[in-house]
Amino acid sequence: MTYLKGVGPQRAQALAAELSIRSFGDLLEHYPFRYIDRSMLYTPGQALPGPAEIQIQGQLSQVQSQGVGAKKRLTAQLVGPDGHIDLVWFKGIRWVEKSLQVGVQYVAFGRVTEFSGRKNMAHPELETLASFQQSPAQGLYPVYSTTEKLSSMGLHSRGLSKLVQALISDLPSQGQDWLPDALWRGAGWPTHLDALREMHFPKSPERLAAARARLAFEEIFLDQLVFAYKRRSYSAHRGGLVFSAVGSRFLAFYEEHLPFELTGAQKRVLKEIRKDTASGMHMNRLIQGDVGSGKTMVAFMALLMALDNGYQGCLMAPTEILAQQHFASLSEFAAALNVRIALLTGSVKASERKPILKDLASGELHLLVGTHALLEDPVQFKNLGLAIIDEQHRFGVAQRAKLRAKNDPAPHILVMTATPIPRTLAMSLYGDLDLSVIDELPPGRQAIQTVHRTDHNRLKVWGFLKEEIARGRQVYIVYPLIEESQKMDYKDLMDGYESICRDFPRPQYEISIVHGRMKAEDKAWEMGRFVRGETHLMVATTVIEVGVNVPNASVMVIENAERFGLSQLHQLRGRVGRGAEQSYCILMTGDKLSDDGKVRIETMVRSSDGFEIADVDLQLRGPGDVMGTRQSGMLDYKVANLGQDQKLIEWAREKARAIVESDPGLHSPEHAGLRLRFTDYARNKMAWGVIA
């Protein structure tokens, strides 16, 4: 950075420390976070108090310092033909005072507030009118994020803008574009260099939008190219396993044992799986289906396809409870089919484990259900043909890779998630997977009635719970334990539990409790009592969030509901409404709600559509928080916005797949620039382990 005019060693060091700006490239990518219409220049009389930062022109007068010590401040006036406005500084007074030239025309930039009837602007950015008029920036004026420390060194937004300006004026007018022409011909985008210029000093909102689109596409495209290569690599060596036949077990089950008619969506997804597994390609498919959409049945029938072709299958779930439930469902489905199935979790004893592993290796065991215990090295299959992962968002890419390594050639992979992710987000996170959606619930399901109640209504709510219990139903009461370690949350839960025990006394009412501080076996025991209907109420934290199936539970009470994210609320609500009974979800909150909290509660009350809810969640929180990927640096785009850039993402994915298919080595001349850029990019990505 010291090679740039205006940057000495001190500023360079501060830029690196405060904003991680170490190179010209970093500075160019420090994009403005918003723009101000520079064409509007107000007089002091026109300027009105408000949240927007505006520019005011006037003559500087009456510079005075007032007060002493901590109360010391500097004031001045900007005078125009129609009035004046006070300028105030509380910091850096000596330095500012020296730089002010009384009687000169200035442009002050900042936010106008009103203070005892007088308009004023605190810590304005000041520039003489002469310098302002020379400035090449027209139209939209960039506003950069900066820090206190940098501002005190003159690198406030305006200062940064000057650095960028200096850098940009040194750029060559024409540069190499790494994005192949064919990809963006006709899009109306500027070249890469022009796009950079427009991002910082846009000539118009339209040109800014075009520049933004280009740079966003570049970011997205590189990621989609990584995905496209990953996808290709799965079957590159040996091809995919071929399930050529729809065999006897599948047909026997379909024709004689299916407990219900499959929904259209279930049939469609099974056809997609059938097509993949028969094609000679390696299947990597993500099935998204809202809670209760019947993913388990699809998983089971897909496993039958593997079995019918002489392969084994496995199903991995994120928790012990879920694995047990899957094992129970699959065992029931498999009962009449002469399928051997076993459960393997962390709590399976060594003595029981041994025969399982032996039969697995010899091929006598057909299906293995379990937790991440399946990933351990001693778990060796004879010929694993299909691996299914339920509730993907709890597992990482690494686990998928481990499953893939359990057979050579790699088994087909099916990932199932009940967290509906907006399509764009799914493509950006799981771009190497093909997407299937089960967008239809089994018929006859009654919509869950969702209501919002506050503490004032608690007596009534408790009365309602008692009525439901009297009718033979069971109830969940969930507390937020966002961080299982947080003492306050834990105390809330225990206080709540105690008062529930008082209000629902034994022996009339039996209560289960499950939370993250309990030992796994205690949790399983308490959960088991509730599943078997031995307890009426389940007081729990979000450990019950995923997948648990107790059809007799008809009421879900969520305490402090405003503290949960939307997707989590939707997941929790999905625990009820699994039987034929009318089910209810009661969202308890305090009286005061933040704006976001209000939107979340209203959305839950209004909608039961997981995809709609996920969309609102994405708008409210942004992708990093929704997917819990913020820490990992994934989806950390500088320009692209996954909520808005859906078209770009679809387009980038299509183009990336086409290029990898037609020119995998990127050897054609028009891909030369791309080859260089991508090699560099992929190498950086490897460093944080995205390429599994």
Subset of residues 556 to 595 that bind ligand ADP, contact rule: CB under 6 A: 578
Say if residues 346 and 322 touch (Cβ distance below 8 Å): no
The 3-state DSSP class for residue 130 equals helix
- Is 297 near ligand ADP (CB under 6 A)? yes
Q: How far is Cα 135 from Cα 165, in angstroms, rounded to an integer? A: 10
Smallest Cα–Cα separation from 417: which of 203, 625, 614?
614
Site for ligand ADP (CB under 6 A): which residue of 225, 418, 500, 546? 418
- Is 574 near Mg ion (CB under 5 A)? no
Sole window of 255-263, 450-458, 527-535, 622-630 interacting with ligand ADP (rule: CB under 6 A): 255-263
Q: Closest approach of Cβ 375 to ligand ADP, in Å?
A: 21
The 3-state DSSP class for residue 50 equals coil
Say if residues 412 and 276 touch (Cβ distance below 8 Å): yes
- Is 294 near Mg ion (CB under 5 A)? no
Site for ligand ADP (CB under 6 A): which residue of 296, 371, 436, 450? 296
- Is 159 near Mg ion (CB under 5 A)? no
Residue with nearest beta carbon to ligand ADP: 294
Subset of residues 530 to 549 that bind ligand ADP, contact rule: CB under 6 A: 549
Sole window of 78-86, 284-292, 447-455, 516-524 interacting with ligand ADP (rule: CB under 6 A): 284-292
- Is 547 near Mg ion (CB under 5 A)? yes
List the single partner that 90 binds among ligand ADP, Mg ion, none, CB under 5 to 8 Å by kind.
Answer: none
Q: Closest approach of Cβ 565 to ligand ADP, in Å?
A: 19
Strands, E, within 496-550: which ranges?
511-514, 537-540
| Class of residue 247 by CB neighbours under 10 A (exposed 0-12, middle 13-18, buried 19+) | middle
Q: How far is Cα 425 from Cα 587, in angstroms, rounded to an integer? A: 28
Task: Find where tokens 């599943």 sit.
Answer: 531
- Judged by beta carbon, residue 126 or residue 387, the one nearer ligand ADP is 387
- Judged by beta carbon, residue 290 or residue 489, the one nearer ligand ADP is 290
Q: What backbone torsions phi and psi does residue 387 show, to the nearest 5 degrees?
A: -115, 125
- Judged by beta carbon, residue 261 or residue 467, the one nearer ligand ADP is 261
- Judged by beta carbon, residue 407 or residue 571, the one nearer ligand ADP is 571
- Judged by beta carbon, residue 120 or residue 296, the one nearer Mg ion is 296
- Is 294 near ligand ADP (CB under 6 A)? yes
- Judged by beta carbon, residue 47 or residue 388, the one nearer Mg ion is 388
Q: Closest approach of Cβ 385 to ligand ADP, in Å?
A: 22
Q: Closest approach of Cβ 290 to Mg ion, in Å?
A: 10
Subset of residues 375 to 404 that bind ligand ADP, contact rule: CB under 6 A: none
Sole window of 187-195, 294-302, 467-475, 670-678 interacting with ligand ADP (rule: CB under 6 A): 294-302
- Judged by beta carbon, residue 300 or residue 564, the one nearer Mg ion is 300
Sole window of 120-128, 288-296, 380-388, 486-494 interacting with ligand ADP (rule: CB under 6 A): 288-296
Sole window of 95-103, 259-267, 304-312, 604-612 interacting with ligand ADP (rule: CB under 6 A): 259-267
Q: How far is Cα 670 from Cα 676, in angstroms, rounded to an integer? A: 12
Q: How far is Cα 278 from Cα 579, in angstroms, rounded to an integer? A: 36
Site for ligand ADP (CB under 6 A): which residue of 142, 289, 610, 623? 289
The 3-state DSSP class for residue 318 equals coil
Site for ligand ADP (CB under 6 A): which residue of 295, 393, 573, 653? 295
List the single partner that 120 binds among ligand ADP, Mg ion, none, CB under 5 to 8 Å by kind.
Answer: none
Smallest Cα–Cα separation from 557: which of 444, 421, 466, 488?
466
Checking 231-235 for CB contacts under 8 A at 24+ apart, the result is 231/284, 231/431, 231/432, 231/433, 231/657, 231/660, 232/660, 232/661, 232/664, 234/282, 234/284, 234/404, 234/410, 234/432, 235/280, 235/281, 235/282, 235/409
Subset of residues 434 to 473 that bind ligand ADP, contact rule: CB under 6 A: 442
List the single partner that 263 binds among ligand ADP, Mg ion, none, CB under 5 to 8 Å by kind.
Answer: ligand ADP
In terms of DSSP bridges, do strands 53-66 and 105-115 run parallel, antiparallel, or are they unpaired?
A: antiparallel
Site for ligand ADP (CB under 6 A): which residue of 263, 345, 535, 554? 263
Q: Closest approach of Cβ 545 to ligand ADP, in Å?
A: 12
List the single partner that 549 binds among Mg ion, ligand ADP, none, CB under 5 to 8 Å by kind.
Answer: ligand ADP
Task: Find where tokens 């007032």 sit.
Answer: 66
> The tokens of 128 are what?
């003489």
Say if residues 283 and 273 touch (Cβ distance below 8 Å): yes
- Judged by beta carbon, residue 262 or residue 518, the one nearer ligand ADP is 262
| Class of residue 547 by CB neighbours under 10 A (exposed 0-12, middle 13-18, buried 19+) | buried
- Judged by beta carbon, residue 293 or residue 428, the one nearer ligand ADP is 293
Q: How far is Cα 530 from Cα 318, in angstroms, rounded to an integer? A: 20
Sequence letter at residue 464: F
- Is 480 near Mg ion (CB under 5 A)? no
- Is 292 near ligand ADP (CB under 6 A)? yes
String of DSSP letters for 647-659: HHHHHHHHHHHHH
Q: Closest approach of Cβ 284 to ligand ADP, in Å?
A: 20
- The answer for 472, left when phi > 0, alpha when psi is -120 to 50, beta otherwise, is left
> The tokens of 647 are what?
């078209």
Residues forming the site for ligand ADP (CB under 6 A): 260-263, 266, 289, 291-297, 418, 442, 549, 578
Residues forming the site for Mg ion (CB under 5 A): 547
